[in-house]
Chains A and B, each alone.
Chain A
Amino acid sequence: MSEISLKVEFGGGLELLFSNQKSHQLSLPTRVASDDSTSPFGKEQETKALDITYLIHWLRDHRLKERVELFMENDTVRPGILVLVNDTDWELEGEGQYEIKDGDEIVFISTLHGG
């Protein structure tokens, strides 16, 4: 199965939930489960193109080390976490439905930590 390589960055304290590692180089399948399940699936599974909603679920299942409630809420990132796609606010790119392309850089920044 073909794969897409992408870079994920965490900032604003979010990296603390991900082994304190800011930058992650990933390779994910082009087609993923429509229900965002990240475990291996069979041929009868409905699929969709790799999008940010799937990436969020994948990060939760495979990279997040602690306190899931600080990262996700209702199948998306928790309110107060900013997402950028290639340095553009994801609100301009369709948010979770943005289909990830090879070489994309996705940044997650928490705004919730003290000032």
Chain B
Amino acid sequence: MPRLCALCSAQRPILKRPKTGQQICKTCFFHVFETEVHNTITEAKLFQPGDRVAIGASGGKDSTVLAHVMKMLNDRYNYGLELFLLSIDEGITGYRDDSLETVKQNQKEYDLPLKILSYNELYGWTMDSIVEAVGRKNNCTFCGVFRRQALDRGAAMLGVDHIVTGHNADDVAETVLMNIMRGDIARLGRCTAICTQGEDTIKRSKPFKYTYEKEIVMYAYFKRLTYFSTECIYSPDAYRGHARSFLKLLEAARPSAIIDIIHSGEACEVGEEATKELKERKICKRCGYIASNDLCKACTLLEGLERGMANAGITDRGRKQLEASGPTPDGLRTIPFFQMNTDTPLDSASSTPIPGQTVDARIPAVVHVTAG
């Protein structure tokens, strides 16, 4: 007698769910996959009707499936969201240029407006040129800091309230492990939150927080969604790579390990002493972005690049060397001023614009918007 789906008892199972061990058929798989994401969204009350939401789209598997599912759930359950695709072009030849073609294809398939913001427009540097200047050691630091700010700025340009990203359960579990291994208790307390929001910046959330990578890939496969899958050519974060391999070994031995690690992270209550160390939030004096010092991380990194002292934004020693080498020269390339899109500016004293700098509600950088 053939095995039957654990849910409908009618069709032949095609997948063993890692989360539950259930053997289910294709129809039931699509149904539970989509419904679980919907439940995650509604239980966390992520959206309000009328919200403008940008989907951070890289062309990879997670964001491709996310765009598909967000569009479908928005229609099916009448969320009333206005959806956008937002992509960051880091300027990596042979990697990002190819994956952006996938995003453009998604844009046509889902009929969503797409905005692409590039490092080159925003910072005057591409990752290719940064790697040429700094080598392959700290390039991921530049990319990470620049991407975070670029996403917020792209979102501000689109006038959206919220960015959703394709981070999945494996990513969250991996981050929990990394924060434990690094002893980063403050981040450990925050990293499992489904939605992060300072008082000021645009909300960011992870509708796939409880969705296994295996199921995302299976969903993309059975739905025949096209995505781009090439490793970044500038070698990935080695530490994260080890955490990932370790997690995959745990998953092979016990598939619930991923969700168990997320639950452990959620159950950790971080004491006040651990979070006290977090520096008070400020506004960057040069570009208006959130900062923990007078200058935000991106402005410090950019100044280091421009002055040929790339370590300035990476090590304390580098920063001291930069300060010792004299004041910031005039005419240095800076990042366009960022106006928070908020009703309650957090620190009015330091958000005073720099004299002589054009302040615009939306950043005046050039963006190629491909209308949907």
Contacts and interface: CB of A to CB of B under 8 A. Distances in A.
Interface size class of A (residues with CB under 8 A): 20 to 34
A112 interface: yes
Nearest to A16: B230
A88 B15 CA distance: 6
A112 B214 CA distance: 10
Contact of A12 (B58, B229, B244, B252): B229
B144 interface: no
A44 interface: no
Interface of A: 11-13, 16, 78-80, 82, 84, 87-89, 91-92, 107, 109-115
A84 B63 contact: no
B159 interface: no
Contacts, number: 72
Contacts of B221: 11, 82, 84, 107, 109
Given A82-B221, A88-B15, 8 more contacts: A12-B217, A13-B229, A16-B230, A88-B13, A92-B16, A112-B244, A115-B60, A115-B167
Contacts of B218: 82, 89
Interface of B: 3, 12-16, 23, 58, 60-63, 166-168, 171, 213-214, 216-218, 221-222, 229-232, 236, 244-245, 248-249, 251-252
Contacts of B14: 87-89, 92
A113 B61 CA distance: 8
A111 B231 contact: no
Contacts of B63: 115
A111 B251 contact: no
Contacts of B251: 79
Given A12-B217, A80-B248, A110-B229, A115 B168 contact: yes
Nearest to B60: A115
A87 B62 CA distance: 21
Contacts of B58: 114-115
Nearest to A70: B231
A92 B230 contact: no
A67 B139 CA distance: 24
A89 B255 CA distance: 14
